[in-house]
């Protein structure tokens, strides 16, 4: 909105540069980041520095806090990387295959099957938590990575199919027609034409699901009871119990646990932001 600025003088200056809005936003951002400020400065302190200089950064920086935290958390970190590395490509493959045929083909049962999938968006996590746990136990999958991977792929694909189907439907027919003329079958059309054209939406699906795997707490907490199997979120929780008053290594661990997603965010800001917004449509 560009309104003509009527007043001049100091008030005009304030208006021209939105000083009040910027000031207010700075206050909001400052309060939002205040806990992270304490997190960061404390992660470099030893016990004495923390007790005597609570609010300000101190020197020397105790990098060994990060070494202690890293050595303890690295195994949890790899567990999460492994689970993400299998379940996210799994979601991408399974959901894109279904979304592709739902969008581009007509076949008996198409509408019913599609709405069967989409209606699952209405099923909250809390309904299936306990029965899925008992079922995973009966299948003998407790304390295996599959206890996470199968439900993540099964659950993650639902919203992905919803997103991808509408994207596939927007691809112009001509592209598919010419592929048919050239003799491409359904598999070639999917792999060579549909998938490459869908890369932006696939990256959104990948980001939404990566965020979910890195944030999920309750499900890995109940299905992975052996320490060496734990994911990073659970690892951080148990890590907390080990340091009674020595907050330095503890907070270094929290920062290390947050870094992978932060790096992902900095590398892929645009799909990240659109991914978060589209992730919001899920109810």
Partner 1 sequence: MNTTQSIAPGSSLASHEKKKSLATRLRKSGAVYLFLLPTFLLLAVFTFYPIISAFWHAFFRWNGLTSEFVGLGNFREMFVIDRAFQASLPNVLKLTAFRLAVAMTVPLLAAELIFSLRSSRMAYFWRVLLVVPMVVPFVVMILVWLFIYDPQAGIINTLLRSAGLDDWTQLWLGDIRLALWCIGFFGFPWVSGLNLLIYLAGLDSIPHELFDAAAIDGANRIRRFFSVDIPMIMGQIKLIFIMTLITQLQNFQDVLIFTNGGPGHATMVPGLVLYHSAFFYNKMGYASAIGVLLFIIIFVITAINMRFIRSDIEYTPE
Does residue number 86 form part of the binding site for partner 1 (CB under 8 A)?
A: no
The distance of Cα 237 from the centroid of its chain, to the nearest Å, equals 19
Task: Identify which range of 6-14, 64-72, 81-89, 182-190 contacts partner 1 by CB under 8 A.
Answer: 182-190
Residues 215, 219, 225, 229, CA torsion sign = negative
- Locate tokens 């400065």: which residue? 41
**In the Cβ-directed half-sphere of 246, how many Cα atoms lie within 13 Å?**
14
From candidates 11, 67, 71, 93, binder to partner 1 by CB under 8 A: 93
Binding mask of the shown chain, residues 146 to 175, with x at each position contacting partner 1 by CB under 8 A: ----xx-xxx-xx--x-------x---x--
Task: Identify which range of 60-68, 70-78, 98-106, 197-205 contacts partner 1 by CB under 8 A.
Answer: 98-106
- Minimum distance from residue 210 beta carbon to partner 1 (Å): 10
Write 164-167 long-range contacts (CB < 8 A, 24+): 164/95, 164/96, 164/99, 164/100, 164/103, 164/198, 164/201, 164/202, 164/205, 165/99, 165/102, 165/103, 165/114, 166/103, 167/99, 167/103, 167/198, 167/201
| Nearest to 258, CA basis, from 30, 36, 29, 28 | 36
The distance of Cα 165 from the centroid of its chain, to the nearest Å, equals 21
Does residue number 129 form part of the binding site for partner 1 (CB under 8 A)?
A: yes
From candidates 58, 118, 137, 197, binder to partner 1 by CB under 8 A: 137
Which 225-244 residues touch partner 1, going by CB under 8 A?
232-233, 236-237, 240
- Our CB check for partner 1 shows the closer of 61 and 276 to be 276
Tell me how crowded residue 164 is: count the other CB atoms within 10 A of its CB.
26
Running DSSP on this structure, what letter comes out for residue 145?
T
Binding mask of the shown chain, residues 51 to 80, with x at each position contacting partner 1 by CB under 8 A: ---xx-------------------------
From candidates 61, 118, 142, 222, binder to partner 1 by CB under 8 A: 222
From candidates 14, 38, 46, 86, binder to partner 1 by CB under 8 A: 38
- Minimum distance from residue 71 beta carbon to partner 1 (Å): 19
Which 249-278 residues touch partner 1, going by CB under 8 A?
251, 254, 257-258, 261-262, 264-265, 269, 272-273, 276-277
Residues 203, 205, 208, 213, CA torsion sign = negative
Running DSSP on this structure, what letter comes out for residue 184?
-
DSSP-derived 3-state class of residue 88:
helix
- Our CB check for partner 1 shows the closer of 67 and 269 to be 269
- Our CB check for partner 1 shows the closer of 83 and 97 to be 97
Size of the site for partner 1 (CB under 8 A): 104
- Minimum distance from residue 9 beta carbon to partner 1 (Å): 18
From candidates 112, 134, 226, 228, binder to partner 1 by CB under 8 A: 134
Query: Please, are residues 87 and 219 in contact by the beta-carbon 8 Å criterion?
Result: no
């Amino acid at each position: 909105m560009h309104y003509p600025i009527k007043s001049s003088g100091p008030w005009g200056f304030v208006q021209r540069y939105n000083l009040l809005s910027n000031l207010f936003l700075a206050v909001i951002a400052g309060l939002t980041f205040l806990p992270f400020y304490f997190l960061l400065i404390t992660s470099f302190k030893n016990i004495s520095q923390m007790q005597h200089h609570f609010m300000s950064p101190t020197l020397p920086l105790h990098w060994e806090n990060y070494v202690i935290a890293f050595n303890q958390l690295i195994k949890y970190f790899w567990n999460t990387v492994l689970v993400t590395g299998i379940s996210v490509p799994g979601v991408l493959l399974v959901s894109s295959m279904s979304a592709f045929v739902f969008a581009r083909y007509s076949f008996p049962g198409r509408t019913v099957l599609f709405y069967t999938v989409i209606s699952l968006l209405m099923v909250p996590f809390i309904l299936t938590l306990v029965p899925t746990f008992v079922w995973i136990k009966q299948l003998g999958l407790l304390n295996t990575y599959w206890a996470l991977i199968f439900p993540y792929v099964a659950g993650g694909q639902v919203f992905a199919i919803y997103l991808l189907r509408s994207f596939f439907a927007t691809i112009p027919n001509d592209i598919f027609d010419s592929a048919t003329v050239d003799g491409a079958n359904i598999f070639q059309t999917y792999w060579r034409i549909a998938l490459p054209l869908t890369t932006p939406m696939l990256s959104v699906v990948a980001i939404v699901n990566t965020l979910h795997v890195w944030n999920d707490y309750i499900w890995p907490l109940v299905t992975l009871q052996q320490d060496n199997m734990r994911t990073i979120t659970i690892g951080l929780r148990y890590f907390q119990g080990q340091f009674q008053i020595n907050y330095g290594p503890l907070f270094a661990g929290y920062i290390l646990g947050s870094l992978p997603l932060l790096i992902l965010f900095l590398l892929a800001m645009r799909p990240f932001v659109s991914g978060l917004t589209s992730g919001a449509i899920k109810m």
